[in-house]
Amino acid sequence: MMKAMSTRIERIRCIRTAPAGIRLVAVRIETNQPGLYGLGCATFTQRPLAVVEAVEQYLDPFLRGRDVSEIEDIFRASLMSSYWRNGPVLFNAMSGVDMALWDIKGKCASMPVYDLVGGKCRMSAPVYIHTTGAEIDDVIEAARREMDDGFRHIRMQVEVPGQATYGTESDLHTHQNVDSPTSPQNVFEPNDYARRACALFERARAELGDEVELLHDVHERVPCSLAIQLAKDLEPYRLFFLEDALPPEDIEHFRWLRRHSHIPLAMGELFNNPNEFTPLIKERLIDFIRIHISQIGGFTPALKVAHFCEFFGVRTAWHGPGDLTPIGFAANLALDLACPNFGIQEMSRFNRATEDVFPGCPEVRDGCLWPNGRPGWGVDLDEELAAKFPFPDHPFNGAWPAIRRRDGSVLPP
């Protein structure tokens, strides 16, 4: 009996595009089967060109000829191939490959990826949306508009006057102000921010009522003692979660934060290696894991993280920023649908250009993200159209300019 020819990798390459003005990197694996290819997300928008180099100059020659079905072995071999393991460039490159292989596997099985890993636990994934404004009134009005549009989980950020406040228009100006890193636009003072955040949520809870779930991102910009005080001060406003109260370098301090406040805690978008976050999960020091799945190597390790979290009562809240391709959102959604310990999905809306470049984008409707039910990720990529949205010019190729205190010292971004 003649053995059927296996499906093998013929080429791995990157597609760079920026339909929303944000640098995106997608990976395409071409196979020896006519018309069969897979797509993955490898976006590391602060170092996109380094990821492209890692994929095309290192992983492509290393993996050509491999059987596409051997996803776990390819992940392990790729991880060990650089000898030094860990780091966002390697992991984003590996993620693009890993997701593309899962896309191929789903297409070969004529099934969505979520059906390959146990099937749906829910029909759609509730999302939280971002609201921001220069003044507290602006943020509250923006939240009302989102509530009218069906959203019931809303992240709120407000500017600190004259400062580069994370998640607001003032922070976007910081990205553009790269020629003057010590400009007042790039200044951030933690105490000013903490007072402003408390004022925002006092007003928001009083004016928006109890039915809406409110979220907030500290973005690791405050010292431990202030993070603890902020968490305590925000307790009366019953946040759905407080995100990144501390940086990953200070995870030991989560023990103190947990002792002093019962506010739900979310953490994880800056993690790379499982050794960084397993203590937080095992000791139940966080309530939501917020990993950016391409940052840890793709769908394969993210699925393991989700199952590990389930045993310790930690829910998922995968990172879903604007610098995630719709392919990455589809991978997030597959985990959201298939994992019983799903908590919430962060969502950044797709603009029309993004929907055109990536046909099959998951649909946002009634405050939820919905799958299209197509095989693999269900998302394609129009390369001819993608080429019409090149990376925008930037002197640092996307790197985040320094955020500083008034004394000039650098803070986390």
Active site amino acids: 166, 219
Q: What angle do CA 205, 207, 211 make, to 5 degrees?
A: 55
336 touches 345 (CB < 8 A):
yes
Contact 24, 17 (CB under 8 A): yes
Distance CA 312, CA 26 (A): 33
Angle value at C-alpha 376, between 370 and 382, nearest 5 degrees: 85
What lies within 8 Å, CB to CB, of 105 at 6+ separation is 68, 69, 71, 113, 116, 376
DSSP 306: H
> By the 8 A CB rule, do 293 and 299 touch?
yes
Alpha carbons 359 and 355: distance in angstroms, whole number: 6
Is residue 339 within 8 Å of residue 307, measured between CB atoms? yes
The answer to whether 380 touches 358, Cβ cutoff 8 Å, is yes
Q: What are the φ and ψ backbone dihedral angles of 191, each rounded to 5 degrees?
A: -65, -40
> By the 8 A CB rule, do 358 and 339 touch?
no
The answer for residues whose C-beta is within 8 angstroms of residue 163's C-beta and 6 or more apart is 170, 184, 187, 188, 189, 192, 193
HSE (side-chain half, CA atoms, 13 Å) at 318: 30
387 within 8 A of 38, measured Cβ to Cβ: no
What is d(CA 357, CA 403) in angstroms, rounded to the nearest whole number?
33
Q: How far apart are CA 225 and CA 227, in angstroms?
A: 5
Residue 34 phi/psi, 5-degree rounding, is -55, 125
* Beta strand segments in 8-65, E: 9-17, 24-31, 37-41
DSSP 70: -
